Structure 1
Amino acid sequence: MNWLKYRFLYFFISLAVLLPGIYSLWSFGLNPSVEFTGGSLLEISLESPSPDQIKDLLSPTYSIHSLDHDSSTITLKLDPLTQSQADQIVSDLKTLDSQAKLISFTSVGPSVGGQLFTKALTAILIAALATLLYIAYSFRNLTFGFFAIIAMLHDTLILLGSYSLLGHFFGFQTDLLIVTAILTTLSFSVHDTIVVFDRIRELKNKTTSSLYALSNRAITETITRSLNNSLTIIFMLLSLALLGGDSIKHFTIALLIGAITGTYSSTFTAVPLLVTWDTIRRK
């Protein structure tokens, strides 16, 4: 099948998904958690009071950055607090609901938050560089490594853009688990990309056909395997996103986005870019 006949359609689909996310990142940015900004995060079991009642009670004493409320819990993001201050907040809330109880309390100083952000960014850059060097060495061709990195960048931008939109409209926070999801997305992306690139290399050693023809054949021979492998992961993540607990839902959604984009980019971004570059280079 002539998959690459539609490569510009694949590029258009990528741009259609990338551009809203890039615009959101530029306009709204991400919604970082206290792990990056510094501050305290309190999750409190509380049923009856409304968010407005809680804000009216606590705002005169504490600086509230955000308040999320569902049927039985509230999540407060505030300036850094001590354990005694967190206990005092729970005591104050008991005037509204006698059954109020602290579920979890996390406090991170601003300097620690900055260090975590730097380390997270460093981890992503190291992973990308190591991937580039490994593929370039394995395939004895820097071009293969370069386009594998482009596909990884494509997937990372889609995930970050999606989380920017989700953070702006639905309050999703970017925390260390999302960094884990980004690194996992890189592995999704590069795994399938290497499978296709390796098949291209094998075919190249057996025939003198053009890279265009070899790439079409390589995609045809590997796409079923890639889809079967990826759909197994996607269905599992979809089940967790729909049925799993709130504590892992956002992380699971990030992994789900990464698994879908990684599956798409390995076949319909990395290979078309490689073939397009080869076509331009030969002119």
Structure 2
Amino acid sequence: MKPLWDVIGKRWLGYVFSVLLIIPGVVALVTNSMADRGALNWGVDFTGGNYFHFKLERVASIGQIREMVDRFATGQSIIQAAEQDVFIRTRPLTAQEKAAFMSALRQEFGGVTVLREDEVGPTIGRELRNTAIIGLIIGLLLQLIYVSVRFKSVRYAVTMDLALLHDLLIVVGVFAITRTEVNSSFVAVLLTVVGYSINDKIVLFDRIRENLAMRTREVFERLVNRSLLESLVRSINTSVTVILAIAAVYFFGGVTVRDLAFGLTVGVAISAYSSVFNAGALLVDWDLWSDRRSGRNRTAEVSVLPTGPAMPSPVGPSEARSSGTSRSPAGSGRRRRRSRRR
């Protein structure tokens, strides 16, 4: 019976669309690097800069503070406010820029008390960036080990990691295209996308494993397609629910969490896409490649015969016609007996 939606049969469309999503991000990373702007728009968490903790005479909103900071042109900045306490992180400032910045702040908000002032060098920012990359790699390796043990096959883990790299490449590419600031929350975005994507794909792989135990005669491509369709509604419902919650944070959570919500929205949407169109397809292609290597026939059904005495194999109609073993010997004997009577 032909499936209602043959995702696996048309899996090449998913591969093509994935390539079309990845290429613009890679081009943006390369062109940004060639233009000496940096492949990504690294924030002060990674490049270093100045950190200020002020206490204002009157309460000011984050919007008012950000408007003043942006007007002062201190570049990408991170601003947090709790009543009269304000925390600002900026790019590295010279002594003259720092003095002008403090003067503009006092003119805008009156009395300003400096509670803390620190300067983070680019070396610390570089160490933070390297630590984040190492942590991400360790996370991928740990899930590779876990999935290999859980599903008793390394192919599930490798195909899942390939789908995860697809998701992360697209998220990084979107940040490169939009020049969204990459700060410490970007690391949280990547780790959250990894966790969500793993969970979504494990649901699909677990359904494949269950169907493998129940449908031993079904061709693997059809079984994967069946498993995908059975888990599709769950995947869509979960992803839509999460995206709606993140959208509320994006529109109503303020400027400070908008980049975080933006990255999570892209990551969750891409994870849902790769779970449907990439993870199962990669597993099927791996299985086909393995079969070609071992010389097995994918269309043959394998059944286990009961032990006992060997039974003669039935002779098909075409074999009977070609061997001439039907009734020709008996007919020739009767003709010989009739000729002797005469």
TM range (shorter): 0.7 to 0.9
Other-structure match for 2:297: none
- Matched residue SS, 2:128: helix
> What TM-score, normalized to structure 2?
0.68
Contact 2:106 2:112 in 1 (8 A): no
Matched, 1:24 2:28: yes
Q: Of 97, 100, 103, which residue of structure 2 is paired with 1:92?
A: 103
Q: 1:161 aligns with which of 173, 196, 215?
A: 173
Name the residue aligned to 1:236: 245
- Work out whether 1:189 is the aligned partner of 2:235: no
Q: What secondary structure, in the 3-state scheme, does the structure 1 residue paired with 2:158 have?
A: helix
Matched residue SS, 1:3: coil
Please show how residues 170-185 of structure 1 align to structure 2 within 5 Å: 172-185=180-193
SS of 1:4's equivalent in the other structure is coil
Contact 1:188–1:262 (CA under 8 A) maintained in structure 2: yes
Paired-residue identity, % = 27
Once the two structures are superposed, residues 36-59 of structure 1 have per-residue CA deviations (whole angstroms, 9 ceiling, x without a partner) of 1111267882768994xx46xxxx
State the partner residue of 1:79. Answer: 92
Matched, 1:40 2:50: yes
Give the deviation of 1:141 after TM superposition.
Answer: 0.6
1:142: which partner in 2? 154
Amino acid at match of 1:45: I
1:269 to 262, 267, 278: 278
Cα gap change, 1:186/1:50 in structure 2, threshold over 3 Å: closer, same or farther?
closer
Q: Return the alpha-carbon distance in structure 1 between the equivalents of residues 70 and 186 of structure 2.
A: 30
Paired AA for residue 127 in structure 1: G
Deviations 1:158-180 (A, max 9, x none): 1101111111xxxx210110101
Partners of 1:244 and 1:15 in 2: how far apart?
Answer: 33
Q: Is the 8 A contact 1:45 1:102 kept in 2?
A: no
In structure 1, the partner of 2:327 is none
> Where does residue 201 of structure 1 map in the other structure?
209
Larger Rg: 2
Call closer, same or farther: CA 1:41–1:201 in 2, change over 3 Å. Answer: same
Contact 2:26 / 2:173 at 8 angstroms: preserved in 1? yes
2:133 aligns to what?
A: 121
Give 1:95 deviation, angstroms: 8.2
What is aligned with 2:227? 218
Give secondary structure in 1 for the equivalent of 2:42. coil
AA of the residue aligned to 2:65: S
Shift in CA distance, 194/106, structure 1 to aligned 2, threshold 3 Å: farther
SS in 2 for 1:40: strand
Contact 1:46 1:100 in 2 (8 A): no
Paired AA for residue 132 in structure 2: A
| CA apart distance, 1:238 | 1.5
Q: Please give the alpha-carbon distance, in whole angstroms, between the structure 2 residues aligned to 1:274 and 1:26.
A: 31
User: Unaligned stretches of 5+ in structure 1?
Assistant: 56-63, 69-74
Structure 1 residue 107 displacement after superposition: 4.0
Q: Which runs of 5+ in 2 are unaligned?
A: 33-38, 53-61, 78-87, 293-342
Q: Does the 8 A contact of 1:45 with 1:100 survive in 2? A: no
* TM-score, normalisation: structure 1: 0.82
- Aligned equivalents of 2:222 and 2:41: distance in 1? 45
Aligned in 2, Cα 1:202/1:250: closer, same or farther, shift over 3 Å? same
Structure 2 CA distance, aligned partners of 1:31 and 1:49?
18
Q: Which residue of 2 aligns with 1:72?
A: none
Equivalenced residues, count: 260
- Candidates 8, 14, 19, aligned match of 2:18: 14
Inter-partner Cα distance in structure 1 for 2:69 and 2:127: 37
Structure scoring higher RCO (CA < 8 A, sep ≥ 6) equals 1
Q: Cα RMSD between the aligned structures?
A: 2.9
